Amino acid sequence: MVKKLDLYMSTGIKEYWVVDPNAEHIIIYSFEDSNIDSTNMFKKNEKLESLIYPEFQLEINEIFA
């Protein structure tokens, strides 16, 4: 996970999602200038919102149903 995080951050990817089906949560990392700009964790019963596409929203319960 850390290798992917570093790779994505250094190659210009703007957002990286880590989905943990066992813990039933999603962590979203947002990158700017090859650094982590922000990190958000979304858990079951919450509404996920993309950090770079705020119009994209998803109920976490739909993913872990």
Summarize pLDDT for 12-40 with one digit per residue, the tens. Answer: 899 999 999 999 999 999 999 989 999 99
* Alpha-carbon gap, residue 43 to 21, rounded angstroms: 11
**Residues near 61 by Cβ (< 8 Å), separated by ≥ 6?**
44, 45
Place 51 in a pLDDT band, splitting at 50, 70 and 90. confident
Look up the pTM and report it: 0.87
Helices and strands: H and E segment counts in the chain: 2, 5
Question: Contact at 8 Å (CB) between 24 and 60?
Answer: yes
